[in-house]
Structure 1
Amino acid sequence: MTGWAHKHRPWRKALRSLRHAVEGLAQFLLLGIFWLLPVDWASNLGGWLTRQIGSRLAVSRRAMEHLAIAFPEMPEAERRRIVAGMWENLGRMIAEYPHLGAIADPASGRIEVAGAERLAAVRNRGKAFIVISAHMANFELMPIAAYKHGHNMTVVSRPVNNPIIQRILLFFRQRPTGDWGKIPKGVSGARQAVKLLQQGQNLGVLVDQRVSQGVPLPLFGRPARTNLGIARLALDHDVEVFPAHLERLGGARFRLTVEEPLARPALEDRQEAAKAMMTEVNRILERWIRRRPEDWLWLHRRWDRP
């Protein structure tokens, strides 16, 4: 480290801490306002605000580029409509954060659940399972909904960069369930995942993000770096993997569909079997996205730059 960098390091840390505090205060105030509002009012307000603002942000160009990759024949006007819908969904999700427990409560009638018996059958056999999903609709509801239906669910996730915001988000995530299970992404998280599966604990993973060390597998006809870790876990530990699709039906109402478990490829080579399984996962993701493109977070850089 140079003398200049060493001398100014405390200032950089202080500025970063100040930025985190300001961002955390803004997040606290915003979610506090939504917390005071009824669920539908909060969801509608959040969706309206981000629909007005989001489409005007420069980052929306990335969403338009990704839509062009997935749907090259789609008219630009339709892509813009989808991007606006994506921003509305994202705003609704933020505004629904303080109400996650109320929305996921089966008594509320806000989440239709189909295929829940598939998970119950595995639980009744005393086996663990893995649920895979995507950044669609309000994906934060899924582990809470699982808890409300009697399933333990440890989520693989990466904490946000701002530790104050992370604590705020965890407060609202954990209020309905207590201190729910969560493990980090990466090597350490993979070791913890193996241990949890061996203990009969279930895992929930969002599998639609680009992984720099992933294997290129097709998604919308173009290679997308895909993590094989979930497939390897399932194959090595004889665990069933259930795709679960969450759809926004309108406002703060949803449908959660637990689909049939992934088939196990009849391949002896472990690497090829994992690639075949995750290729099928990408096909499932593509089907979900085609059905509800506004529900997906198109801002993620899923494909490598050309």
Structure 2
Amino acid sequence: MDFLLYWTVRIIIGGISMLPLDLVARIGRALGAIAYTLDARHRKVALNNLTAAFQGERTEAEIRALARENFKRLGENYCCAIKTAFMSEAAVAERLETVGVEPLAPYAARGQNLVVAIGHFGNFELYARANFKVGEYTFATTYRALRQPALTRLMQELRSKSHCVFFERRTDADALKTAMNKGRVMIGLLSDQHAGRSGVWVPFFGRSCSTSTAPAVLALRYDARLFSAICYRTKLAHWRIEVGPEIALHTADGEPRKTADVMSEVNAHLEAAVRRDPANWFWVHKRWKPPEKRQLLSVAADERV
């Protein structure tokens, strides 16, 4: 079964890689429209999330239109992520612009690491392809292996073309530590999904949600600078990655800020990006899962402090 799955998906990927990017994007949008019609479970999640986030700001018709466009964008993003993995740096540069990377150069000269809080915005696989814009750094990120080893292997084969270093979250902790200790690493960490028991509960669209502490923890541990970055879709098969202002890790007195405060600021940056282009985000994920009983006690204790 693993063998069959691997070669089926590989043939599909091979077919996509041979098509023009604009055509790939249109095919992806068509597939997304079909998914919106057929995938009732994820359609319901997206509609519920959008309704809760924009209660009183958008009509029901606007919410449905946003959800439909969101599915089309997701189809476009996934198909384009496959195609762009096979494209040269020069070809990617024609489709991807970057904003805000120039201020990062002085940190490389000092050998300082950068932690970048990113999210599932636009063609988010392009974060790994933007390394030619900041050549002094080794680009890195983390991932979680899929349940199907064949798909994980295929995914990593695609990602290896980016020259970005990928660390598996559960098995590559030592390798990540070694890389961070060497310096000049720019690591992007997806920070916009439910983090379960290990997360800190901070607001996102006015509702508390479990949020990964990794950006704040890694930045403080390795004396790195912390930023956020968003991949915006500017038009069909064109994107712009914008690096936001630096997020402070210490108070005016030089004391480390609380992890919850840092991640609240990260969430504020991500929320602003969602509001700027709501269809650009990953609404099909259950971002606001309710806390478990012991998490409720922890949240209540934090609120009393």
**Alignment deviations for residues 69-102 of structure 1 (CA, whole Å, 9 cap, x no partner):** 2111222221221222221122112222132352
> Is residue 247–residue 255 contact of structure 1 (8 Å, CA) maintained in 2?
yes
The reply to whether residue 130 of structure 1 matches residue 115 of structure 2 is: yes
TM-score w.r.t. length of structure 1: 0.85
Structure 1 residue 108: Cα displacement? 4.1
Picking from 20, 30, 39, the partner of 1:38 is 20
Secondary structure of 2:242's aligned partner: strand
> Is residue 194–residue 233 contact of structure 1 (8 Å, CA) maintained in 2?
no
For residues 229 and 99 of structure 1, the distance between their equivalents in structure 2, rounded to whole angstroms, comes to 28
Secondary structure of 1:299's aligned partner: coil
- Change in 2 beyond 3 A, CA 1:108/1:278: closer
Partner of 1:164: 150
Q: Pairwise mapping of residues 30-69 of structure 1 onto structure 2 (< 5 A)?
A: 30-58=12-40, 59-69=42-52
- Change in 2 beyond 3 A, CA 1:264/1:99: closer
Partner of 1:90: 74
- Change in 2 beyond 3 A, CA 1:109/1:76: same
For residues 76 and 65 of structure 1, the distance between their equivalents in structure 2, rounded to whole angstroms, comes to 11
Question: What code does the residue aligned with 2:168 have?
Answer: P
Partner of 1:76: 60
Picking from 272, 276, 279, the partner of 2:264 is 279
* Unaligned runs of at least 5 residues, structure 2: 292-305
> Is residue 104–residue 110 contact of structure 1 (8 Å, CA) maintained in 2?
no
**Alignment deviations for residues 221-245 of structure 1 (CA, whole Å, 9 cap, x no partner):** 1010012232122123321011111
- Change in 2 beyond 3 A, CA 1:77/1:26: farther
* Unaligned runs of at least 5 residues, structure 1: 1-17
- Change in 2 beyond 3 A, CA 1:89/1:204: same
For residues 227 and 129 of structure 2, the distance between their equivalents in structure 1, rounded to whole angstroms, comes to 17
Secondary structure of 1:105's aligned partner: helix
**Alignment deviations for residues 189-239 of structure 1 (CA, whole Å, 9 cap, x no partner):** 555433322111221111001111212101111010012232122123321
Q: Pairwise mapping of residues 87-236 of structure 1 onto structure 2 (< 5 A)?
A: 87-96=71-80, 97-102=82-87, 105=90, 108-147=93-132, 149-150=134-135, 151-177=137-163, 180-186=164-170, 188-200=171-183, 201-213=185-197, 214-236=199-221
- Change in 2 beyond 3 A, CA 1:192/1:303: farther
> Is residue 104–residue 111 contact of structure 1 (8 Å, CA) maintained in 2?
no
Structure 1 residue 253: Cα displacement? 0.4
- Change in 2 beyond 3 A, CA 1:199/1:217: same
For residues 218 and 84 of structure 2, the distance between their equivalents in structure 1, rounded to whole angstroms, comes to 33
- Change in 2 beyond 3 A, CA 1:29/1:56: same
Question: What code does the residue aligned with 1:83 have?
Answer: A
> Is residue 113–residue 222 contact of structure 2 (8 Å, CA) maintained in 1?
no
Question: What code does the residue aligned with 1:36 have?
Answer: M
- Change in 2 beyond 3 A, CA 1:292/1:103: farther
- Change in 2 beyond 3 A, CA 1:192/1:108: closer
Q: Aligned pairs, how many?
A: 284
Question: What code does the residue aligned with 1:194 have?
Answer: K
Question: What code does the residue aligned with 1:76 have?
Answer: E
Question: What code does the residue aligned with 2:147 have?
Answer: N
For residues 22 and 193 of structure 1, the distance between their equivalents in structure 2, rounded to whole angstroms, comes to 33
The percent of aligned pairs where both chains have the same amino acid is 27
- Change in 2 beyond 3 A, CA 1:21/1:83: farther
- Change in 2 beyond 3 A, CA 1:293/1:224: same
